[in-house]
Amino acid sequence: MRSRQPLVDRAIVVLSTVVLLVAAATLALNPAQALADAGWRLGVMTIALALVVPLHLRLPSGTDASPLAPSIGLAMVLTPLSTAQNDLTGTALVVVALAVGTMVGVGLSSLLGQGRTSLAMLGSRLIGATAAALLFRNMPIIDGESPASAAQGWLDDPWRTALAMTLCGLVAIAVDLGLLVLRTAAPGRLGTQGEQLAREIGPVWLAVLGIAVAIALGFGPLDLWSVPVMASPLLLMRTALRRQAGIVRVRHDAIAALGQLTDGTGYTTTGHGRRVRDLAREVGLQLMLSDRELRDLETAALMHDVGQLGLTDPIPGGATSEAAPSDQAAIAIAGARVVRTLGGMERVAEIIEQQTTPYRNVREFGEDVPIECRILKVCNAYDDLTQGRPEARAEAIERISLGMGYEYDPDVVDLLTHAGTTR
């Protein structure tokens, strides 16, 4: 089970709190000078950050994909706001201002009734931004100077400044995404979760980085107008993401309705799809599937019997596991064909299509059958045998156990005996 996430969340909150306290203590050494050196730019960006935080957006998967606040926060880190020496006091001021702007924005979000924001997520961003700020402003990595100090001699070669900002910004993004992977991935599946997050929100973060660098560079020729002019494309991106999230929600509603269609037409027993979904999720959690894999498995479980709608005569009790292997395969292929018509669900279609493949094909012939298919096969057979009756559990487990190693994956069957004990 995913018992690690609360521990990682607490560690991130503690670390970000320590970072903020150290920054505040450093700023307290000479606050007046730091504020004077920063000037109006820092104030403008802090206000802008507070105003855009309420424009956050969550994808249906639960991932925060809001581009506006991270871009302005990263621009604060990369904009030369502090003294020419770029000392630690100036860096501390930027970190404190970033935290203040974010918390004011979170307060505005609460007043607008937009729900609570994860402290761990905010802490991850603060830690990443602090790492980038230290690297950009204080680390003597370019001929004994920090990138921010060296940039003062690159007025004739602005591409060098842009490159330095981009590389330092990548550090902030890498830290943020790395902590997000630690927070959301099951033990042993860090690589899989990292790959999925890179595909899902990687393009958004690259846009965030590009806009942040543009805002930081634009403060020279554009001054105050740099923020709205450079950030305006992100408003369009947010609109696109919001529409995409709406489309996904509509698709999920359609999936739920389609999954219940076999119940309503008498092809399966009432609640069969939901019971298989819930049981498959329990087993998937124990096998440490990633969030994306679990979502695909749950969707496939809801729709795995859709292929039965094409049958002239329903299978008694809808128990496909009791049908002839050729009939099982035909139903699975028909169901996968229906799912593919929905678009963007190829992975779910593959799970449904291969759900009837015997485990012996994996063991004896090395056939590549995804673990989700093997989970679905076992859970479907279990509910076909129990029909939602807890008293039939022992007999169902016994019958499924007879097919271990030949029809069913032994690891999945073993986990099934510890999952859903009241089903």
pLDDT higher than threshold 60 for residue 153: yes
Question: Does 122 share its domain with 162?
Answer: yes
The more confident residue out of 256 and 9 is 9
Mean pLDDT of 353-368: 86
Please name which of 16, 23, 13 lies closest in space to residue 126, comparing C-alpha atoms.
16
Percent of the chain having pLDDT more than 90? 18
pLDDT for position 2: 45
Give me the phi and psi of 403, to 5 degrees please.
-100, 10
Calculate mean pLDDT across residues 194-213.
76
Interatomic CA distance for residues 171 and 399, integer angstroms: 54
- Summarize the confidence of residues 368-374 as an average pLDDT: 89
pLDDT band at 292 (very low <50, low <70, confident <90, very high): confident
Last residue of a domain, one of 220, 247, 274: 247
Residue 333 lies in a domain: yes
Listed residue (16, 77, 13) closest to 45, CA to CA: 77
Shared domain check, 272 and 171: no
pLDDT at residue number 246: 67
CATH number of the domain enclosing 300? 1.10.3210.10
Pair 160, 291 in one domain: no
Lowest-confidence region among 112-126, 272-286, 343-357, 398-412: 112-126
**Contact (Cβ atoms closer than 8 angstroms) between residue 255 and residue 299:** yes
Q: What's the pLDDT score for residue 382?
A: 93
Q: What is the DSSP string of 211-277?
A: HHHHHHHHTTTTGGGHHHHHHHHHHHHHHHHHHHHHHHHHHHHHHHHHHHHHHHTTSS-TTHHHHHH
Residues 87 and 236 grouped into a single domain = yes
pLDDT attached to residue 353: 92
Going by pLDDT thresholds of 50, 70 and 90, the confidence category of residue 338 is confident
Is the separation of the CB atoms in 34 and 27 below 8 Å? yes
Residue 346 lies in a domain: yes
**Does the pLDDT at position 252 exceed 50?**
yes
Integer Cα distance of 151 and 161 in angstroms: 5
In a domain, 83, yes or no: yes
Do residues 243 and 276 share a domain?
Answer: no
Domain boundary among 247, 275, 290: 247
Per-residue pLDDT, averaged over 49-68, amounts to 66
Residues 204 and 307 in one domain: no
* Whole-angstrom distance, CA of residue 294 vs CA of residue 306: 20
Of 48-52, 76-80, 84-88, 177-181, which gets the smallest average pLDDT?
84-88
Question: Closest by alpha carbon to 95, among 151, 34, 39, 48?
Answer: 34
Same domain assignment for residues 323 and 199:
no
Question: Which of 247, 277, 309 marks a domain boundary?
Answer: 247
153: tokens are 């001699």
Same domain, 156 and 284: no
Between residues 21 and 312, which one has the greater pLDDT?
21
| Overall domain count for the chain | 2
Q: What is the mean pLDDT of the chain?
A: 80
pLDDT band (50, 70, 90) for residue 6 = confident
Question: Per-residue pLDDT averaged across 185-209, rounded?
Answer: 70
* Cα–Cα distance for residue pair 271/264, rounded to 1 Å: 10
- Which whole number is the average pLDDT over 231-243? 64
Phi, psi of 87, deg, nearest 5: -75, 175
Q: Residue 1's pLDDT is what?
A: 41
Domain extent, residue 275, equals: 265-416
- Indicate the pLDDT class of residue 83, thresholds 50, 70 and 90: very low
What mean pLDDT comes out for the span 399-410? 89
- Please give the average per-residue pLDDT across 30-56, as a whole number: 76
Tally of CA atoms within 13 A in the half-sphere of 332 that contains its CB: 25
E-strand ranges in 311-385 read none
| Residue 157 covered by a domain | yes
Q: Which of 116-130, 174-188, 212-226, 257-271 has the highest mean pLDDT?
A: 116-130
Q: Please give the model's pTM, rounded to 2 decimal places.
A: 0.64
pLDDT value at 86 more than 60: no
Work out the average pLDDT over 233-246: 64
Q: What is the C-alpha to C-alpha distance for residues 225 and 124, in angstroms, rounded to an integer?
A: 29
| pLDDT bucket at 57, cuts 50 / 70 / 90 | low
**Residue 144: partners with Cβ closer than 8 Å, 6 or more residues away:** none
Q: Are residues 232 and 317 in the same domain?
A: no
Residue 221's pLDDT is what? 55
Angle at 271 (CA atoms; ends 268, 272), nearest 5 degrees: 50
Instruction: Give the C-alpha separation, 224 to 214, whole Å.
Output: 13
pLDDT interval class at 405 (50, 70, 90): confident
What pLDDT score was predicted for residue 100? Answer: 92
Decide if 121 contacts 106 (C-beta within 8 A).
no
| DSSP bridge pairs for 142 | 145
Statement: residue 373 has pLDDT above 70: yes
Same domain, 233 and 276: no
In a shared domain, residues 292 and 374? yes
- Nearest residue to 324 via CA among 315, 333, 334: 315
Q: What's the pLDDT at 266? A: 67
The answer, yes or no, to whether residue 420 has pLDDT greater than 60, is no
pLDDT surpassing 90 at residue 18:
yes
Q: Is the pLDDT of residue 319 over 80?
A: no
- Are 239 and 275 in a shared domain? no
Q: What's the per-residue H, E or C state across 169-195?
A: HHHHHHHHHHHHHHHHCCCCCHHHHHH
